[in-house]
Structures are given as structure tokens and as C-alpha cells.
Amino acid sequence: MLEEQEAKRRILDAASPGAVTWIPLELTLDQVLAQEITGSVDSPPFDNSSMDGYAVRAAECKTGDVLQVNEAVQAAGLDCHLTLQAGEAIRIFTGAPMPLGADAVIMQEDVRREGNQITVAEGVVEGENIRRRGGDVCAGQKLLERGDVMSPARIALLASQGIPEVAVHGKPLVQIVTTGDELVEPGAPLLPGEIYNSNSPMLQAAVTRVGGIAAASHAFDDPEELHEVLGAALATADIVVIAGGVSVGEKDYVKEVLEELGVTTEFWRVKVKPGKPFLFGRHPDGTLVFGLPGNPVSAFVTFHVFVAPVIRRLLGDMSEGASGDTGTVSVVLGEAVENTGDRPHYFRGRVENGTLRLSGTQQSHAIFGLSRANCLLRLNPGEKLDEGASVAVILI
């Protein structure tokens, strides 16, 4: 049985970022930049007012001064190229270009207006309430690096530079293939002995969350059908994730069918709990194949530990996250936890107000406990932690 870290290393070594593609900026959320981005315009592009008020000369705008209000108004929009004369104030609004000759903006709340005159209630100093050209970003400044992950704020930054499209690594197509004669799709009635297929929607959602494109199919425990369904999956997907049928049961045909289809099993069975019967294989055309245990908690954990980092790597994410170890936070154990087994154990837990408690039964079919969990706690074989101990958990 392979050690967990060796399994992770071998999987990641087989994965490299997908082809570069240009996509509309607003669709790049959570994707990874395949280009460096340098500012091409100053931001703000011109000096402008940060307040609704009056453009003035600070020296003429002390408490008690009276100024004549020019009849022209400068709102946000096209620059009217107004010029401020001595003793004058020009009505101005937030985001509007500064008139020539003005060196401050007085807030409208700080003046008393009567007809065409304002009386200053609270004076201003030079530069007050002006946002200077280039005060945020200067043309030529490096803004983002290759490998940076796009966020709403970064999308705003690039939009503010007038960039409509960016280069990212394309999203991998991940085909989920569930297997099992006992499985029924939600919505259909259950006959005795049957259960609902929960792995398919769970894994589709998990794929979407890490940035892949998910598709799903199902095969009954029949070698011919499995051959057909897996063959179609291999023909279209970048990654095939099979759930169930990969253990040692009489109807676990996945391994032999993968072999028929030309997939080389790189390894099968990893020292991890839950999730021992995990399989990793490669098809000659480059498709990566993962066989997850059918039990939903085992499928969830092995997806999180081994498959999610690969999807991030195909997206171009070479950061720590790609090894599955980011998104960790330090918490205090609300109860003692011990791994009495001989494999690393991923316990499911719930952190509330910085304190971690295990969530429900830790059995690998128990979806309710999993649904209550917000983190995984990994313990090495034999590791024992006391209540009150500080531990790092993996957020899920």
C-alpha cells in the first residue's frame, strides 16, 4: 500500500497546467492567470474630486471666507475644462475632473450657500478631497503575476485598467462516473435494497467548487456497460473520476475495465482513512483517471486530498493549495482525539468560535456527520491529541 505523501507526489507529477485560453474578464473568478499584467494607464487617470462640494483655492477658503459660485458645474463625466477665477468656487461632484486653478474641494456640508455665494463654515487645506492622478496605480506598475488566482477585487483592478479579456489556463473537463446496481437518482422511487446516488451530485459540486467543469454518467455493475461508459468518459474528459466499484467486491469491475481501455494503473490502495481502495491511472492520451471508494465520506475525503489539487494544478495553480494543504486554520480541540489505526486518518469536524469538535459518527457512509463538518483534521497513525491542544485543520 502506497504512503499518502508519495501518492500525492506521483499524482501531481503527472499533472501540468492546461492550454492557455483568453476569456472575458468577468468569467475569470477563481481561475489562474497565465500572463503577467502591467498597468497601462494611471489610476485615477486624472485628478478628481472625492466629495460632492465646491472646487476652490485652499488659500481663499478659510473659515468665514465668502466665495462667488461660478454658474458652470463640473459633474462626473466629460471634462468641461473649467478654470477657477480668483474669489470663486465651482460646484463639483464625486469623481468629476478638477477645474484648472483649483487645489482643493470643500464638502458641501462645510459651507452655507445663499444664492450665488457660499460662506465657509470649516476651511480646507491644499489637496484636500482631491484624488490625484496615479494615486492608486501608475502606468508601468506590475499589477498581477502569472499564477495569481482571480478574485472579485482583481477583476475590478483589471477592469479599471480597461482590460476586457485575460489569459488563463482552460478549465479541465471532469467526468464523474458513478457505479453500482443499487443506485437510484434522486427523484425516482426507491425499491427495497436500493439507495440514492449521492456521490454524483456531491462530486459534481466539488469539481465546480475547485474550478473544473463537471459532467456525470452512471454505469451499473456490468463489465460491458462499464466499458461503454468509461470509454465515452475517456474520449472526452481531461480527468475521469469514478466512484465505487474499485474495491475487492465480486462486482468491482472498474480495474479490469480500465485495463481493457488502455489505462495504466499507476497505483491502487493508499494508506489513508477513509479511502484505502483509491486508484490512480493514466490513459495514453493524457487523461488522468481516479477511482474513489463508493462510500460517500471516503469519496469526499479522497477527492479533497488527491483530486482537488490536480484540478487546481491543471488550472495553473502551482501554489501550496495545489498540494491540498492550504485553507488551513489553527483551532483548539474541544475534545481529545486519537488515531488508533495504522493509516493517517482524516477526521471530520466542526469548528465553532475557534473550537473543534468531531461531527457525528466517523463512519464512512455517514453523510449527515459529513454535512455538519466544516473541516478535516488529519492525524498520523498513533497520534493522540488532548482536549485544549492547538491543531491546524483543513477547511472544507
- The residue ranges that bind Mg ion (CB under 5 A) are 180, 244-245, 294
Candidates 97, 170, 294, 349; binder of ligand AMP (CB under 6 A) is 294
User: Which range in 47-55, 180-188, 326-334, 374-382 contacts ligand AMP by CB under 6 A?
Assistant: 180-188
In this complex, which beta carbon is closest to ligand AMP, that of residue 31 or of residue 204? 204
Partners of 119 in the beta sheet? 66, 112
Work out how close the CB of 274 gets to ligand AMP at its nearest, in angstroms, rounded to a whole number.
11
In this complex, which beta carbon is closest to ligand AMP, that of residue 99 or of residue 296? 296
CA 175 – CA 178 distance, rounded (Å) = 10
CA 236 – CA 217 distance, rounded (Å) = 12
In this complex, which beta carbon is closest to ligand AMP, that of residue 197 or of residue 339? 197
Q: Say whether residue 295 binds ligand AMP (CB under 6 A).
A: yes
Candidates 74, 175, 197, 359; binder of ligand AMP (CB under 6 A) is 197
Partners of 338 in the beta sheet? 384
Candidates 48, 49, 175, 178; binder of ligand AMP (CB under 6 A) is 178
In this complex, which beta carbon is closest to ligand AMP, that of residue 70 or of residue 204? 204
Candidates 28, 49, 175, 247; binder of ligand AMP (CB under 6 A) is 247
Work out how close the CB of 251 gets to Mg ion at its nearest, in angstroms, rounded to a whole number.
6
Supply angle C-alpha 267, 270, 272, rounded to 5.
160
Candidates 182, 194, 260, 266; binder of ligand AMP (CB under 6 A) is 182
Cβ atoms < 10 Å from Cβ of 233: 26
Candidates 99, 293, 309, 349; binder of ligand AMP (CB under 6 A) is 293
In this complex, which beta carbon is closest to ligand AMP, that of residue 43 or of residue 247? 247
**Which residue, among 373, 382, 308, 309, has the nearest Cα to 347 in the 3D structure?**
373
**Most distant CA pair in the chain, distance:** 94
Residue 28 backbone dihedrals phi, psi, to 5 degrees: -90, 0
Work out how close the CB of 178 gets to Mg ion at its nearest, in angstroms, rounded to a whole number.
9
**Which residue, among 29, 37, 35, has the nearest Cα to 137 in the 3D structure?**
37
Residue 209 makes CB contacts below 8 A (sequence gap 6+) with none
Q: Say whether residue 183 binds ligand AMP (CB under 6 A).
A: yes
Kindly state the cell numbers that stand for 211: 474550478
Q: Which residue has the cell 462530486?
A: 203
Q: Which does 216 bind (CB under 5 to 8 A by kind): Mg ion, ligand AMP, none?
A: none
Query: Which residue is closest to ligand AMP by CB?
Result: 294
Q: Which does 175 bind (CB under 5 to 8 A by kind): ligand AMP, Mg ion, none?
A: none
Q: Which does 364 bind (CB under 5 to 8 A by kind): ligand AMP, Mg ion, none?
A: none
In this complex, which beta carbon is closest to ligand AMP, that of residue 296 or of residue 324? 296
How would you classify the pairing of strands 328-333 and 355-358? parallel
Compute how many residues bind ligand AMP; rule: CB under 6 A: 18
CA 195 – CA 185 distance, rounded (Å) = 9
Whole-angstrom CA distances from 27 to 22, 72, 86, 155, 173 are 10, 42, 50, 9, 16
Candidates 49, 74, 175, 199; binder of ligand AMP (CB under 6 A) is 199
Task: Assess contact for 167 and 34: CB atoms under 8 A.
Answer: yes
Work out how close the CB of 294 gets to ligand AMP at its nearest, in angstroms, rounded to a whole number.
2
For residue 117, the surrounding DSSP H or E stretch is strand 117-120
Supply angle C-alpha 103, 105, 108, rounded to 5.
160
For residue 108, the 8-state DSSP code is G
Kindly state the cell numbers that stand for 24: 472575458
Strands in 293-344 per DSSP E: 328-333, 337-338
Candidates 123, 211, 212, 296; binder of ligand AMP (CB under 6 A) is 296
Q: Say whether residue 362 binds ligand AMP (CB under 6 A).
A: no
Q: Which does 296 bind (CB under 5 to 8 A by kind): ligand AMP, Mg ion, none?
A: ligand AMP
Q: Which residues contact ligand AMP (rule: CB under 6 A)?
A: 178, 180, 182-183, 195, 197-200, 243-245, 247, 249, 293-296
